Amino acid sequence: MTADSQRLCRGCFQPIDRRSRKCPHCHAYQQKGFIWAAWLGVLLAAVFVLGILTDVLLTIADHRKQSLRREPPPNYADVVEVQESRLLPPAIHTEQRPQTVPAVIGVLRNNGTQPIASITLQIRCYDSQKKIVDTFQWSYALEIQPGSSVPFKASESSYGNLRPAALPPEDYVSHEVVVVKAHPPTS
């Protein structure tokens, strides 16, 4: 073989025939296109794996987001009726707590088809000119079966956060009880 008909192998640097596609010593391919095709294949495989990995991670993140975003329980406030209620003007409840707070007693009825397990009422107290003199919310866990009624007593003393009444007891003339929330039992 002459020097013009030979070249060095790309892999082992041994002299081989210029027309050889593969080195007889180290079996390395000699064509430039093959090396770039191999790298292109590796690059495409990496992009494919990266795409699958991204899809898996996005799916996991979406599932976590959905599990953290729990839907609030349905509100059945429109099916709970305040059948009757009576305002108890502010009075001293106990000797240990000489604060005066308004209270409301009454009866709640469940007109729906689902049992109710917790309820939140808003009580608004008015003076003789129909101006609001006091307002408070009362939340309680109680069970009201469909079609049944239960008595209730709501006051700010329910949670021990007593505060003096806004006005003297004689200024508490009328009241309004609004069912804000009513939730069924959680399963």
pLDDT tens digits, residue range 58-112? 998 888 887 777 777 788 889 999 999 988 766 644 455 544 667 888 999 999 9
User: What separation in angstroms does the CA of 186 have from each of 70, 108, 140, 182?
Assistant: 13, 20, 15, 12
Mean pLDDT value across residues 142-160: 79
pLDDT score of 33: 57
Q: Which domains does the chain have, with CATH numbers?
A: 3-68 (no CATH), 77-183 (2.60.40.10)
Mean pLDDT value across residues 145-165: 70
What's the pLDDT band for 167 if we cut at 50, 70, 90? low
Q: In whole numbers, what is the pLDDT of the chain averaged over residues?
A: 81
- 3-state SS assignment for residue 70: coil
Closest to 86 in 3D by CA, of 181, 162, 176, 182: 176
What's the pLDDT band for 55 if we cut at 50, 70, 90? very high
CA dist., res. 124 & res. 109, Å (int): 20
